[in-house]
Amino acid sequence: MIQDIAYLVVFGLPLVVVAGIATLLGFAGTAAIALAHRRGIKQASFTLHYRFAIFSLALGVFHAALALSVYYGF
């Protein structure tokens, strides 16, 4: 059942691949916010960094569940 969702085609790619790309971009964005904050950019607050990290972790868990469903067949 979840395996069918993982193979659902979005933008010409399986959903599991799209979720992986989004997770990677989320973590890259989190790192970029930390670098911007370190360089003194006021819009890059710690709260934004924290929220981006939580969002990226949740997206990573979703991606992992989809990927594991493909291998274990659930």
Q: Is the pLDDT of residue 62 over 90?
A: yes
d(CA 43, CA 40): 9
Backbone φ and ψ for 57, nearest 5 degrees, come out as -65, -40
Whether 19 and 59 have beta carbons less than 8 Å apart is answered as yes
Which pTM was predicted?
Answer: 0.90
Q: What is the pLDDT of residues 24-55, one digit of tens each?
A: 999 999 999 999 999 999 898 999 999 999 99
Per domain, the residue ranges of the chain are 12-72
